[in-house]
């Protein structure tokens, strides 16, 4: 039952379409399903990492080091702005045979995974969200001792469930977007790419401003 709750939690955390969601949509449209899904799995793995840290109750590390948080937020925001610029410069993908799509998407798949993984990790305050969410699930505040309450028999299904729920969402999003890829006119695809670039840049600017604002 705990695993099922964690799956639902992971799905709900991933579902809101933010910067990573827009990036997944853009890559699914321009490069195909593999690129979009790799983007989503990168985010899911980062969610699992922060879910693990949250389950183990180490959010205090981030709150105790505010400068570390500022640097990560500002760097992540700047990376989003740079990524938006590269997306805006990309030409929209033309409908192509499956073999051609495989050839063009094979090379950047690992890069898509790594960049999104690093980008998602740039928001360490996500740990606090997992702390609150996991507390709502129950095991972190049961009447047992702390070692038993946070033991691996409880932590493992929670973290695995978060990853599985997040991965299911990214599978759905990238799959549906890629399925529509060959049915959309090039002009529409170009418009989606530009909209994605603007949205991602906006998220990046907000993250930079928020991070630097903590210095004031």
Residue 192 has which token pair?
A: 């989606």
pTM of the model: 0.70
- Average pLDDT for 32-46: 92
Please compute the mean of the pLDDT values over residues 95-120 and round it to a whole number.
66
Separation in Å, CA 5 to CA 8, 53, 119, 157, 165? 5, 18, 26, 10, 9
Mean pLDDT of the chain: 74
Using alpha carbons, select from 26, 25, 30, 189 the residue that is nearest to residue 101.
30
- Domain map (residue ranges) of the chain: 2-65+91-190
The answer to whether 174 and 33 are in contact (CB under 8 A) is yes
pLDDT, position 34:
92
Residue 5 or 99, more confident: 5
% the chain with pLDDT above 90: 12
H helices of 32-151, in order, are: 33-55, 59-64, 66-89, 98-106, 109-121, 126-137, 146-149
pLDDT of residue 61: 52
């Amino acid at each position: 039952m705990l695993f099922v709750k964690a799956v639902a939690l992971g799905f709900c955390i991933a579902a809101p379409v933010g910067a990573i969601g827009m990036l997944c949509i853009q890559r699914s449209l321009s490069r195909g399903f593999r690129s979009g899904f790799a983007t989503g799995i990168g985010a899911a793995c980062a969610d699992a990492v922060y879910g693990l840290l949250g389950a183990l109750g180490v959010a205090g590390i981030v709150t105790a080091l505010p400068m570390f948080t500022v640097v990560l937020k500002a760097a992540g925001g700047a990376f989003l702005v740079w990524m938006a610029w590269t997306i805006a410069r990309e030409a929209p993908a033309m409908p192509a045979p499956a073999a051609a799509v495989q050839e063009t998407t094979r090379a950047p798949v690992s890069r898509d995974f790594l960049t999104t993984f690093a980008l998602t990790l740039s928001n360490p305050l996500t740990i606090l969200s997992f702390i609150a969410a996991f507390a709502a699930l129950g095991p972190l505040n049961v009447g047992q001792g702390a070692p038993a309450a946070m033991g691996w028999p409880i932590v493992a299904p929670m973290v695995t469930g978060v990853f599985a729920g997040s991965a299911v969402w990214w599978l759905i999003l990238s799959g549906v977007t890629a399925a529509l890829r060959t049915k959309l006119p090039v002009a529409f695809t170009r418009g989606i790419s530009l909209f994605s670039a603007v949205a991602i840049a906006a998220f990046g600017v907000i993250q930079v401003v928020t991070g630097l604002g903590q210095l004031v």
